[in-house]
């Protein structure tokens, strides 16, 4: 389409061309609107797959979790709490060492296990087990837990996260796969606790020897 | 000479930048504003440029892969010629940048520079502050060591507290179910592409508005900002008592920027690069993760909040804080600029500065954390505490040490600071109270009833009862004494 009126402004007659100019201009605006509309349509069509790509990491917990073996139960003496390590079931070759996960295995009885996440229920730092004081202690903000994982003191508002555990063919298995946080592991439970000291009405102090 | 002129006019005929730049350079600034107080903005800009240049140079070598990042950092530190220096410049440049941006902000706040017509300049500045902090946090992740790994864990744990979408946010942040390769890749993207790109755009607009609207005049008590008259007053001031920005004001910017760059370089040479610390192996749990300096205050806050307040605080306080910063220029767009007439502003700034300082200081020595090896690694219980002790009391001292009481309680000047020092505990608690405290815990102390045999408790409490100054009796239960006297 030629654009005489504007390419040679000096040669046109203003009076004769004004009506045509108006039409030309309004036609150009219309074309621009069509152009914008086309971009909007294409934009939406492109955005949908982009968003799907962007949010692809968001999955239901069940899709990330699977049963992982921690080895034969014989490696966990009864009455003790030991550190166990496993490779996360969801992993990539470029993860390096970060696909390793540690957890605390407490063998309560011959066939009874408790497996705790290494991550403090407060903000995810690695808790350490101290058999001498029978406490898990967190190095970050001072959270402490009893041997059974219940909250002892400090900022955590609940006990340690526990994995589902089972024994298959003499090996201990846990359901693992994602970093335990308050949003994906058991919701906050308030352990039943009889507080004798009236001054403290805090929740979740853990089991007291005087309980019951 | 004429050759240079020819080249210049050839370029300018095409670029068309000469005239607008000349106008920018010649725009008048108030004489009193040509002050050393106004150099922080340009210094922040210089540091941003430094970070971009050193960042690009580091990216030439750094491998943004969870499996290799730590090795490539050590290669930079120890094997590549002057790699350590570039890492140190980038690390110290980051610290200086956060500091200078905060000082710049405090100065702008004190001088009332956010008021009409510079509200939007302040708003963009708030976003630039958030992006600077975002760069500092993502930069800490680039240094892919233990602190970076567990720092990500803290970030994910905070996000997980968001109602309903917390789990999805964690997946988005980590790029999967755990902190791993995908996590580093996306933080690299944020640190290198997304945030710097936005920062450059925002910085351009921020500086553009400063140049177009004119730099804030020196605040004088009684010189009140009114929308209707401000622009005329400002132009009158710069016309009567002003000077061209170049060179009248900018020379101080240039000198200070050079000084800041020199300071970064000196720190880099003298103190060297930051880390990397231990390798990012999550199964190595003998670690005490700590954030970088500018996030220490937050680390302290997180350990002092009561459990019940933590989630609301974490989710609501940042929103309120950012809303307050963004809303400030719209709430107070007119009125007095001078700090002599703004007591609440001074009080607010002082409160924030003191709180920040105290929390940061606490973050440097984390008194809330048990000293994990105090029971085994330090000096024994001082002999003077045991000289006159009975065998049972000495047995109690053994229990005290072996059951790790010292990880939280210091005695003889050594031990944790989590609980009170116990050197004179007997003056504060009676035997019954001691027994109850040991068995049941409370007041942030775990209960030890399950972990101590009755004999151990007796011995321990007997030992604790000896802990009082020679000239001060131990606490006694008055009621008990009375009943016993009655018998």
Q: Per-residue DSSP letters for A6-70?
A: HHSGGGS-HHHHHHHHHHHHHHHHHHHHHHHHHHHHHHHHHHHHHHHHHTTT---HHHH-EEEEE
B399 touches chain A (CB under 8 A): no
For residue A4, pLDDT over 70 is answered with: no
Same domain membership, residue A166 and residue A80 = yes
Residue B230: per-residue pLDDT: 93
Q: Which helix (H) or strand (E) holds A74?
A: none
B295 and B137 in contact (C-beta within 8 Å)?
yes
Same domain membership, residue A70 and residue A44 = no
What percent of chain B clears pLDDT 70, i.e. is strictly above it? Answer: 99
Which among A13, A31, A54 is the end of a domain? A54
Domain-located, residue A210:
no
Higher pLDDT, A206 or B14: B14
For residue A209, pLDDT over 60 is answered with: no
Structure tokens at B305: 């909040």
ipTM above 0.90, yes or no: no
| B172 contacts in chain A (CB < 8 Å) | 55, 57-58
Q: Which of B425, B420, B343, B413 is nearest to B378 (CA)?
A: B413
Higher pLDDT, A189 or B307: B307
Task: Please state, in angstroms and as integers, the Cα–Cα distance from residue B427 to each residue in B325, B381, B418, B472, following that order.
Answer: 49, 19, 20, 7
The rounded distance, in Å, linking the Cα atoms of B403 and B36 is 59
Domain-located, residue A122:
yes
> pLDDT category, A14, cuts 50, 70, 90?
low
For residue A122, pLDDT over 70 is answered with: yes
Structure tokens at A37: 């509309």
| A97 contacts in chain B (CB < 8 Å) | 66-67, 279-283
Same domain membership, residue A18 and residue A113 = no
B135 and B191 in contact (C-beta within 8 Å)?
yes
| B contact residues 208-247, partner A, Cβ 8 Å cutoff | none
Nearest to B172 among A55, A122, A184 (CB): A55
Nearest to B172 among A57, A178, A197 (CB): A57
Stretch B348-374: mean pLDDT, rounded?
A: 91
Same domain membership, residue A136 and residue A97 = yes
Looking at CATH, the fold of the domain delimited by B2-365 is given as Cytochrome Bc1 Complex; Chain C (1.20.810)
Nearest to B153 among A59, A124, A157 (CB): A124
pLDDT digit string, tens, across residues B286-315: 888 888 888 999 999 988 888 888 888 989
Whether A100 and B282 lie within 8 Å, measured CB to CB = yes
Same domain membership, residue A72 and residue A40 = no
Q: How far is A111 from chain B (nearest CA, A)?
A: 22
The rounded distance, in Å, linking the Cα atoms of A92 and A88 is 10
- Beta-bridged to residue B452, according to DSSP, are none
The rounded distance, in Å, linking the Cα atoms of B22 and B15 is 14
Residue B487: per-residue pLDDT: 57
B285 touches chain A (CB under 8 A): yes
Stretch B56-77: mean pLDDT, rounded?
A: 96
Residue B1: per-residue pLDDT: 64
Mean pLDDT, chain B, whole residue set: 92
| A94 contacts in chain B (CB < 8 Å) | 65-68, 181
Stretch B434-443: mean pLDDT, rounded?
A: 89
Same domain membership, residue A80 and residue A41 = no
For residue B97, pLDDT over 80 is answered with: yes
Residue A207: per-residue pLDDT: 35
Stretch B268-275: mean pLDDT, rounded?
A: 94
The rounded distance, in Å, linking the Cα atoms of A210 and A203 is 16
The helix, strand and coil proportions of chain A, stated in percent and rounded to the nearest 5, come to: 30, 25, 45
B398 touches chain A (CB under 8 A): no
A92 touches chain B (CB under 8 A): yes
Other CB atoms closer than 10 Å to residue A196's CB: what's the count? 12
3-state secondary structure chain B: CHHHHHHHHHHHHHHCCHHHHHHHHHCEEEHHHCCHHHCHHHHHHHHHHHHHHHHHHHHCCCCCCCCCHHHHHHHHHHCCCCHHHHHHHHHHHHHHHHHHHHHHHHHHHHCCCCCCCCHHHHHHHHHHHHHHHHHHHHHHHHCCCHHHHHHHHHHHHHHCCCCCCHHHHHHHHHCCCCCCHHHHHHHHHHHHHHHHHHHHHHHHHHHHHHHHHCCCCCCCCCCCECCCCHHHHHHHHHHHCEEEHHHHCHHHHHHHHHHHHHHHHHHHHHHCCCCCCCCCCCCCCCCCCCCCHHHHHHHHHHHHCCHHHHHHHHHHHHHHHHHHHHHHHHHCCCECCCHHHCHHHHHHHHHHHHHHHHHHHHHHHCCCCCCCCHHHHCCCCCHHHCCCCCHHHHHHHHHHHHCCHHHCCCECCECCCCCCCCCCHHHCCCHHHHHHHHHHCCCCCCCCCCCCCHHHHHHHHHHHHCCCCCCCCCCCCHHHHHHHHHC
Residue A201: per-residue pLDDT: 39
Q: Which ranges in chain B are annotated with CATH 1.20.810.10? A: 2-365
Q: Which helix (H) or strand (E) holds A4?
A: helix A4-7
Structure tokens at B90: 């980038």
Q: Which ranges in chain B are annotated with CATH 1.10.760.10? A: 374-479
Same domain membership, residue A159 and residue A135 = yes
Residue B485: per-residue pLDDT: 73
Phi, psi for A100 (deg, rounded to 5): -80, 145
Domain-located, residue A92:
yes
Same domain membership, residue A135 and residue A95 = yes
Interacting residues of A53 by C-beta distance below 8 A, sequence separation 6+: none
Residue recorded with tokens 């406490």: A135
| A139 contacts in chain B (CB < 8 Å) | 287-289, 369, 372
pLDDT digit string, tens, across residues B137-182: 999 999 999 999 999 999 999 999 998 899 999 999 999 999 999 9
| CATH of the domain spanning B374-479, picked from 1.10.10.10, 2.70.98.60, 3.30.300.210, 1.10.760.10 | 1.10.760.10
| B450 contacts in chain A (CB < 8 Å) | 134, 146-147, 207, 209
Domain-located, residue A90:
yes
Whether B440 and A209 lie within 8 Å, measured CB to CB = yes
| B297 contacts in chain A (CB < 8 Å) | none
Whether A137 and B407 lie within 8 Å, measured CB to CB = yes
Q: Which of B333, B331, B341, B120 is nearest to B225 (CA)?
A: B333
Residue A8: per-residue pLDDT: 52
Whether A100 and B369 lie within 8 Å, measured CB to CB = no
The rounded distance, in Å, linking the Cα atoms of B323 and B314 is 15
DSSP 8-state code for residue A127: P
Residue A212: per-residue pLDDT: 29
A100 touches chain B (CB under 8 A): yes
Q: CA dihedral in degrees (B404, B409, B415, B418; nearest 10)? A: 110
Same domain membership, residue A72 and residue A11 = no
The rounded distance, in Å, linking the Cα atoms of B133 and B139 is 9
Same domain membership, residue A99 and residue A32 = no
Q: Looking at chain B, which residue has its C-alpha nearest residue A64?
A: B177
> pLDDT category, A206, cuts 50, 70, 90?
very low
Same domain membership, residue A107 and residue A86 = yes
The helix/strand/coil state of A103 is strand
Q: How far is B406 from chain A (nearest CA, A)?
A: 11
Q: What is the domain count for chain A?
A: 2
Domain-located, residue A211:
no
Q: How far is A92 from chain B (nearest CA, A)?
A: 7
B44 and B160 in contact (C-beta within 8 Å)?
no
Structure tokens at A40: 């909007």
Domain holding A84, by residue range, is: 61-176
| CATH number of A99's domain | 2.102.10.10
Residue A188: per-residue pLDDT: 45
Same domain membership, residue A136 and residue A92 = yes
pLDDT digit string, tens, across residues A147-188: 999 999 888 888 999 999 999 999 999 999 999 988 876 544
Q: How far is B375 from chain A (nearest CA, A)?
A: 10
Nearest to B308 among A94, A157, A197 (CB): A157
Q: How far is B301 from chain A (nearest CA, A)?
A: 10
For residue A194, pLDDT over 90 is answered with: no
Phi-psi region of B128 (alpha: psi -120 to 50; beta: other; left: phi over 0): alpha
Residue B124: per-residue pLDDT: 97
| B312 contacts in chain A (CB < 8 Å) | none
Interacting residues of B366 by C-beta distance below 8 A, sequence separation 6+: A142, B288, B290, B299, B300, B303
The rounded distance, in Å, linking the Cα atoms of A209 and B212 is 72
């Amino acid at each position: 389409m030629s654009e005489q009126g504007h390419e040679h402004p000096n040669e046109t007659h203003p009076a004769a061309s004004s009506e045509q100019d108006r039409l030309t201009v309004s036609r150009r605006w219309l074309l621009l609107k069509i152009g914008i509309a086309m971009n909007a349509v294409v934009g939406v069509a492109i955005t949908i797959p982009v968003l799907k790509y962007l949010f692809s990491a968001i999955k239901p917990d069940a899709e990330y979790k699977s049963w992982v073996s921690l080895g034969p139960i014989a490696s966990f003496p009864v009455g003790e709490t030991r550190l166990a390590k496993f490779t996360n079931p969801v992993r990539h070759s470029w993860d390096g060492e970060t696909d390793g996960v540690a957890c605390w295995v407490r063998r309560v009885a011959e066939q009874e296990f408790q497996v705790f996440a290494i991550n403090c229920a407060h903000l995810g730092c690695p808790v350490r087990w101290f058999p001498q004081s029978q406490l898990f202690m967190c190095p970050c903000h001072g959270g402490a837990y009893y041997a059974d994982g219940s909250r002892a003191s400090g900022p955590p508002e609940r006990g340690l996260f526990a994995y589902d555990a089972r024994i298959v063919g003499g090996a201990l298995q846990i359901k693992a796969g994602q970093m335990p946080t308050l949003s994906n592991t058991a919701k906050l439970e308030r352990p039943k606790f009889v507080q004798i000291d009236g001054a403290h009405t805090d929740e979740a102090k853990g089991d007291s020897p005087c309980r019951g | 000479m004429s050759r240079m002129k020819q080249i210049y006019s050839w370029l300018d005929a095409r670029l068309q930048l000469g005239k607008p730049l000349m106008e920018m350079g010649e725009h008048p600034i108030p004489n009193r504003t040509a002050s050393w107080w106004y150099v922080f903005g340009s210094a922040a800009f210089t540091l941003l440029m430094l970070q971009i240049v050193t960042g690009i140079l580091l990216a030439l070598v750094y491998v943004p892969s969870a499996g290799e990042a730590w090795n490539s950092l050590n290669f930079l530190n120890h094997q590549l010629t002057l790699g350590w220096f570039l890492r140190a410049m980038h690390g110290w440049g980051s610290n200086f940048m956060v500091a200078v941006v905060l000082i710049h902000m405090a100065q702008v706040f004190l001088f009332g520079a956010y008021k009409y017509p510079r509200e939007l300049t302040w708003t963009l500045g708030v976003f630039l502050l958030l992006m600077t902090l975002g760069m500092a946090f993502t930069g800490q992740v680039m240094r892919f060591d233990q602190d970076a790994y567990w720092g990500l864990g803290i970030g994910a744990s905070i996000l997980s507290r968001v109602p309903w979408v917390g789990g999805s946010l964690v997946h988005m942040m980590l790029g999967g179910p755990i902190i791993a390769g995908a996590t580093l890749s996306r933080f690299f993207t944020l640190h290198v592409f997304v945030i710097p790109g936005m920062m450059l755009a925002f910085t351009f607009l921020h500086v553009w508005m400063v140049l177009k609207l004119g730099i804030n005049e020196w605040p004088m008590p009684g010189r009140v900002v009114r929308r209707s008259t401000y622009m005329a007053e400002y132009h009158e001031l710069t016309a009567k008592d002003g000077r061209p920005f170049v060179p009248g004001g900018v020379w101080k910017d240039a000198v200070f920027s050079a000084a800041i760059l020199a300071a970064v370089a000196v720190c880099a040479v003298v103190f060297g690069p930051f880390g990397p610390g231990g390798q990012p192996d999550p199964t190595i749990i003998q670690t005490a993760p700590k954030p970088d300096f500018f996030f220490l205050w937050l680390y302290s806050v997180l350990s002092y909040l009561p459990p019940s307040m933590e989630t609301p605080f974490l989710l609501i306080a940042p929103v309120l804080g950012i809303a307050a910063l963004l809303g400030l220029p719209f709430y107070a767009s007119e009125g007095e600029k001078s700090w002599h007439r703004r007591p609440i502003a001074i009080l607010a700034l002082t409160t924030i500065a003191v709180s920040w300082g105290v929390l940061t200081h606490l973050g440097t020595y984390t008194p809330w954390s048990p000293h994990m090896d105090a029971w085994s690694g330090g000096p024994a219980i001082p002999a003077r505490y045991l000289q006159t002790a009975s065998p049972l009391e000495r047995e109690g001292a053994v229990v005290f040490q072996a059951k790790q009481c010292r990880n939280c309680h210091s005695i003889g000047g050594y031990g944790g600071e989590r609980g009170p020092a116990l050197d004179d505990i007997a003056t504060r608690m009676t035997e019954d109270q001691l027994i109850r405290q040991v068995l049941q815990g409370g007041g942030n102390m775990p209960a030890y009833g399950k972990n101590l045999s009755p004999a151990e408790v007796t011995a321990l409490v007997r030992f604790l009862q000896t802990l009082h100054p020679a000239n001060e009796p131990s606490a006694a239960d008055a009621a008990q004494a009375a009943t016993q006297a009655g018998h």
